[in-house]
Amino acid sequence: MNPPADCRCCGLCCRSSSDTYVRVSGDDWERLGADAERVAHFIGHRAFMRMGGGHCAALTEERQSDGAIWQVCAIYERRPQVCRDLGRGSPECEAERIRKGGAGVMR
């Protein structure tokens, strides 16, 4: 599936100030493999993606040759199920963009 034209310029779905924003299941933890402890952690008896600077620890920025900055998930192929369930450009994606301030983090 191709992302909407500005999907990689947005990253809003990966942004939150909550330490419990993205729940990580046991299956997710296994899928994360060697990266699990770097990008996720336990709070009590539940695992969540690590959050820092207002975004998920797996969210990185890549500067493109044209100067554009893309928001990229460093673990995209192994991301948690909740992230897989949020379809790019879906009504839920659009609701997230509206709830968090519009068109996303455009640069």
How many other β-carbons are positioned within 10 Å of the β-carbon of residue 10? 22
Which has the closest alpha carbon to 75: 90, 59, 91?
A: 59
Q: What pTM was computed for the model?
A: 0.82
Instruction: Please report, in angstroms and rounded to a whole number, the separation of the first and last CA atoms in the chain.
Output: 24
With contact defined as beta carbons under 8 Å apart, do 21 and 12 qualify?
Answer: no
Specify the pLDDT at position 89: 81
Q: CA angle, 18 as apex, 13 and 101 as ends, to 5°?
A: 45
Q: Could you tell me the pLDDT band of residue 1, with boundaries at 50, 70 and 90?
A: very low
In this structure, which amino acid lies at residue 69? Answer: I
Specify the pLDDT at position 12: 87
Q: What whole-number distance in Å separates Cα of residue 89 and Cα of residue 70?
A: 16
